[in-house]
A = this chain, B = another copy of it.
Amino acid sequence: MHFSKTSEYAIRVLSYLSVHNESLHSVNTLHKELDFPYKYLTKLMTGLTKKGLVISNRGREGGFSLARDSKDIYLNDILNAVEDSGVNEDERCILGFDKCDSTNPCMLHDKWIKPKTLIDDMLLNTTLAELARSNKKI
């Protein structure tokens, strides 16, 4: 049970931005600091820009910064931005049981699918600010 590589990159790069929010950071800087593949990071950052999580400043001396306060960015926002693996909107059964719904839930239904429980609770309630604060050494 783990995040995809892309999700991990996104979470960590945004964490970095949140604890270094005094200035802009270019892909080059982020690449050197975080050691993610340069080109892949470029793609990721433009993606995060389109999704509205970061703001890009083009041209020389340009770079990226968080689009809003890290207290207002939730883990779930990040996962939704980079892939469709955030909190499940359609409540499809995580085990794939066709017959699993709220009236006839499988065992994991309540724990995994419905918001405000376990993972979803964490995804929905954990902010980037908390995440970043918890590991200063990035």
Residues of A in contact with B (beta carbons under 8 Å apart): 1-3, 8, 11-12, 15, 79, 85-88, 94-100, 104-109, 111-112, 118-119, 122-123, 126, 130-131, 133-135, 137-138
Contact = CB atoms under 8 A, between A and B. Distances in A.
Contacts of A11: 95
13 contacts: A2-B88, A12-B97, A95-B131, A97-B138, A99-B138, A105-B134, A105-B135, A107-B130, A107-B134, A108-B122, A109-B134, A111-B122, A118-B119
Nearest to A8: B96
DSSP majority for the A interface? loop
Given A126-B107, A130-B107, A131-B107, A85 B2 contact: yes
